[in-house]
Amino acid sequence: MGSRYRSFNNYLRGIFGERVQRIGLDAGFSCPNIDGTKSERGCSYCNNKAFVVNCRQPKNLDEQITRSMEFYRRRLGAKKFIAYFQAFSNTWAPVDVLKKTYDTIKKYPQIAGLFVSTRPDCLDDEKLKLISGYLKDYLVWLELGLQTSDEALLKSINRNHSYSDFEKAVRSARAYNINVCAHLIAGLPGSRPQATLVDVDRIVKLGVAGVKFHVFHLLKNTPLEAEYTRCRFKFLDRRSYVKIICDCLERLPPEVVIMRLVSTASSEYLIGPEWINQKHGVIKDIDDELKRRNTYQGCSYEGTSIKNP
């Protein structure tokens, strides 16, 4: 059999019939959890410098877009692209500013998709209406950072939003026919291994159309670094992570798009676990584990799939 899960690349090929490259962009937005609206500390694991290419003092958007497209055209022969507004919270600005920012992609006929990453508490009807306006010309996804559906864990990592904020955001986005991808983190300090399985079951019921899995990793210059120095909490080991992800895949509906199986981080900032940067090896372990179990995405899913846009 082919892939045992619905990978993002296969999903894109199914729509466009060719490779489509996502390009990460930093439009210079901030985040209410950093700018003082909710907190100035940020999420306890957050050091955006570690995972955003052009962060901070970003180059202007046109320059980011043209450089990235040229890079992937040369390196991978990519001809179509998705503009992924990635850094910080990309709906954290007035609607007219958001519109002007997103509209930059209209200058580039090679861009076929608009992906917007944000927090669940940074959306309202006006913003969702704006984003839905791109549906007629682009593949549109909203990527929502949830990380965990456990309220106590959300608090412990200083997310400063609740699970009900996420529920509300997903329901509202779906009402505008916008695909939603949830970001989840496995292995958060203080969490049980089953926590991510509970998260998956809960987001499936909401009709989330895609998932990005991350493994908890500790970065330098984050609030959690000090806590780690004090109490040396344990990182999830590679084998346990592979097992958790396979368990999650088995209970996700087959049509949910797996947009990421493991996160990576700049080794300049990464404290641990170091294995996360062996991305291809981890993905192979997940493939091998599914083969060994002879299982696949959705094999344990018993619900009725919610039709996604």
Q: Which residues bind ligand SF4 (CB under 6 A)?
A: 31, 33-34, 42-43, 46, 48, 88-89, 119, 145
Report the alpha-carbon distance of residue 99 to residue 82 in Å, rounded: 17
Tally DSSP H helices, then E strands, for the chain: 10, 9
Q: How far is the CB of 33 from ligand SF4 (least distance, A)?
A: 4
Q: How far is the CB of 134 from ligand SF4 (least distance, A)?
A: 22
Q: How far is the CB of 308 from ligand SF4 (least distance, A)?
A: 25
Residue 4 or 183 having the CB closest to ligand SF4: 183
Interior/surface letters 280-292, b for 16+ CB within 10 angstroms, e for the rest: eebbebbbebbee
Q: How far is the CB of 11 from ligand SF4 (least distance, A)?
A: 25
With residues binned 3-state (H G I as helix, E B as strand, rest as coil), the percentages for the chain, rounded to 5, are: 40, 15, 45
Q: How far is the CB of 137 from ligand SF4 (least distance, A)?
A: 28
Q: How far is the CB of 266 from ligand SF4 (least distance, A)?
A: 15
AA identity, residue 141? W
* 109 contacts: CB under 8 Å, gap ≥ 6: none
Q: How far is the CB of 307 from ligand SF4 (least distance, A)?
A: 30
Residue 80 or 127 having the CB closest to ligand SF4: 127
Q: Classify the phi-psi angles of 126: left when phi > 0, otherwise alpha if psi is within -120 to 50, otherwise beta.
A: alpha
Residue 55 or 299 having the CB closest to ligand SF4: 55
Residue 22 or 159 having the CB closest to ligand SF4: 159
Report the alpha-carbon distance of residue 72 to residue 268 in Å, rounded: 24
The answer to whether residues 219 and 249 touch, using CB atoms and an 8 Å cutoff, is: no
Query: What's the Cα-to-Cα distance from 132 to each of 91, 168, 178, 225, 234, rounded to whole Å?
Result: 13, 17, 6, 39, 42
The answer to whether residues 257 and 8 touch, using CB atoms and an 8 Å cutoff, is: yes
Residue 37 or 277 having the CB closest to ligand SF4: 37
Residue 169 or 204 having the CB closest to ligand SF4: 169
The answer to whether residues 178 and 152 touch, using CB atoms and an 8 Å cutoff, is: no
Report the alpha-carbon distance of residue 298 to residue 280 in Å, rounded: 23
Residue 44 or 179 having the CB closest to ligand SF4: 44
